[in-house]
């Protein structure tokens, strides 16, 4: 049994407060609220505001913009897990006649469908959704700007189509399905498509003067699945825990891990930062840390949800201004502050509950040609294969119950690892996707494709 970590140290809490105070001041935000999650619970909440004597708490609603897309993606993955669709299905199979039917469900989720980034004018974020009553109004006359599946190009209309897919297969409005299948099971009672008091007002801050202008809060209509939701730091903190751990009432841990797995190529401009996209989730490497989540914006509001699964830390940042604080940077900084000031204490090492003799026979050194590798069994029941020195292909493997193992990541993801045995039952070599691993480099006593020169190893002379 593990002992939960104590609350954050005073120095850490002050560093977090300092970070959001700088963000609110330098970003000239009317208000900014933030929360930090660690070990599956909220451990810190902070707020800065321009209104004396008032600080928004964790239950004040802000509009969260495109974080809505992650909620929509959860609904689509639920349909997949129930067998109602395959991610490789073209949209046309389920929602015919959209003029975008050749794009697959996975391509829509990962923004690789080739669809335009926005719907036709007028600017959909600042005009009533009633101007776009049909999907054709959202897509326009030329919905595709790029070949389907060839590149990452962020598309708001793509998520409108996914919302229509949910409605078609569930036979109910997107809003109703979301509330029933995600919000209520996860206890997100302050998340919804319309603001409910207490909520922040959206503001535009003049770029060259310290004055403000209220922003309209439009109902996005058909575009709702791309950016409609309002939420709080408390609710988004709970949502972050779900995205890190899964919840079988909504999506399994394996399914949310799939959402966090890159599914789109990085744009050239993003390569330096290692940014890419999964299934409804943004993914980036920053300061040596893998971060997942999503950002969001609508006129009057900025939002960010950032998770470091490895550190078991998440941050939520919400502000009520059209532009100003770089909330995605703030979110990443809040995660970094906690991770560096109070590093995660690892779980105690524990041995395997029981030893599998056949698996134990495979551990140790192996050679693919002249490349040395080590195969280990770990307490989580997996096997790991990694180079003995330097960089190289590495992966973890899951046992299949029949003596074979399936790769979980990297070059060997999905590949089958199996032991080939001699007539006497001893292991001759390992076969990994046709790669032969032997106990010695080009072992003469093992089956090596191409054979081994009978003169053996020798020098030049």
Tell me the pLDDT tens digit for each residue of 166-175.
999 999 999 9
Alpha carbons 295 and 68: distance in angstroms, whole number: 9
Report the DSSP beta bridge partners of residue 61: 199
Same domain, 362 and 337: no
pTM as predicted: 0.90
Same domain, 323 and 370: no
Is 352 inside any structural domain? no
Is 84 inside any structural domain? yes
CB neighbours (10 Å) of residue 138? 28
Is 443 inside any structural domain? no
In which domain, by residue range, is 134 found? 27-341
pLDDT attached to residue 270: 63
Same domain, 182 and 117: yes
**∠ Cα 125 121 100 (to 5°):** 95
Same domain, 295 and 366: no
Copy the structure tokens of residue 415.
Answer: 């590949």
CB neighbours (10 Å) of residue 418? 15
Report the DSSP beta bridge partners of residue 432: 417, 435
DSSP, res 408: -
Is 387 inside any structural domain? yes
Same domain, 201 and 307: yes
Is 3 inside any structural domain? no
Last residue of a domain, one of 294, 314, 341: 341
Copy the structure tokens of residue 265.
Answer: 């190529």
pLDDT at 1 over 70: no
pLDDT at 2 over 60: no
Same domain, 106 and 59: yes
Number of domains in the chain: 2
Radius of gyration for the chain, computed over Cα atoms and rounded to the nearest angstrom: 26
Is 76 inside any structural domain? yes
DSSP, res 199: B
* 241 dihedral zone (left: phi>0; alpha: psi -120 to 50; beta): alpha
Tell me the pLDDT tens digit for each residue of 255-287.
999 999 999 887 766 655 678 999 999 999 998
Same domain, 301 and 169: yes
Same domain, 74 and 121: yes
In this structure, the strands spanning 41-49 and 62-63 are unpaired
Same domain, 118 and 222: yes
pLDDT attached to residue 132: 95
Is 9 inside any structural domain? no
User: By CB neighbour count within 10 A (0-12 exposed, 13-18 middle, 19+ buried), where does 140 fall?
Assistant: middle
Same domain, 42 and 138: yes
Same domain, 65 and 136: yes
pLDDT attached to residue 391: 82
Say which residue, 3 or 320, is predicted with more confidence.
Answer: 320
Tell me the pLDDT tens digit for each residue of 344-383.
888 898 888 887 888 999 999 999 999 999 999 988 889 9
First to last CA, the chain: 64
Tell me the pLDDT tens digit for each residue of 185-214.
999 999 999 999 999 999 999 999 999 999
Nearest partner of 314 among 5, 53, 42, judged by Cα = 42
Same domain, 195 and 268: yes
Is 392 inside any structural domain? yes
DSSP, res 375: E
């Amino acid at each position: 049994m593990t002992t939960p970590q104590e609350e954050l140290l005073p120095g850490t809490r002050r560093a977090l407060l300092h970070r959001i105070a700088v963000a609110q001041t330098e970003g000239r935000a009317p208000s900014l609220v933030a929360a930090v999650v660690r070990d599956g619970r909220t451990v810190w909440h902070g707020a800065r505001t321009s209104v004396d004597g008032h600080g928004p708490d964790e239950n004040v609603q802000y509009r969260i913009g495109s974080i809505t897309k992650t909620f929509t993606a959860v609904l689509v993955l639920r349909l997949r897990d129930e067998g109602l669709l395959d991610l490789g299905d073209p949209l046309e199979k389920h929602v015919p006649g959209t003029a975008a039917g050749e794009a697959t469900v996975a391509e829509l989720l990962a923004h690789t469908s080739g669809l335009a980034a926005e719907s036709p004018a007028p600017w959909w974020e600042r005009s009533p959704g009633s101007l776009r009553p049909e999907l054709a109004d959202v897509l326009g006359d030329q919905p595709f700007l790029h070949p389907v599946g060839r590149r990452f190009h962020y598309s708001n209309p793509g998520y409108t189509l996914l919302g229509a897919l949910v409605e078609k297969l569930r036979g109910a409005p997107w809003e109703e399905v979301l509330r029933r299948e995600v919000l209520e099971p996860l206890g997100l009672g302050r998340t919804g498509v319309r603001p409910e008091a207490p909520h922040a007002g959206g503001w535009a801050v003049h770029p060259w003067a310290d004055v403000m202008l209220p922003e309209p809060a439009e109902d996005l209509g058909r575009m709702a699945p791309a950016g409609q939701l309002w939420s709080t730091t408390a609710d988004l903190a709970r949502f972050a825990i779900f995205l890190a751990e899964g919840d079988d009432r909504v999506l399994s841990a394996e399914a949310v891990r799939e959402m966090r797995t890159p599914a789109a190529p990085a744009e050239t401009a993003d390569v330096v930062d290692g940014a890419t996209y999964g299934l409804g989730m943004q993914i980036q490497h920053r300061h040596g840390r893998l971060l997942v989540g999503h950002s969001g914006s609508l006129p009057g509001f900025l939002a960010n949800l950032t998770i470091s699964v490895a550190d078991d830390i998440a941050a939520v940042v919400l502000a009520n201004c059209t532009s100003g604080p770089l909330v995605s940077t703030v979110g990443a900084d809040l995660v970094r502050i906690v991770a560096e000031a109070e590093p995660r204490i690892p779980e105690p090492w524990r041995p395997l509950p029981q030893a599998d003799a056949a698996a134990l026979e495979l551990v140790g050194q192996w050679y693919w040609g002249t490349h040395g590798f080590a195969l280990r069994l770990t307490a989580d029941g997996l096997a790991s294969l990694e180079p003995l020195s330097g960089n190289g292909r590495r992966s973890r493997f899951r046992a299949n119950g029949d003596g074979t193992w399936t790769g979980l990541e990297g070059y060997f993801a999905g590949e089958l690892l199996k032991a080939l045995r001699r007539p006497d039952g001893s292991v001759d070599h390992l076969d990994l996707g046709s790669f032969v691993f032997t106990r010695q480099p080009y072992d003469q006593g093992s089956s090596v494709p191409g054979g081994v020169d009978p003169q053996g190893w020798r020098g030049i002379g």
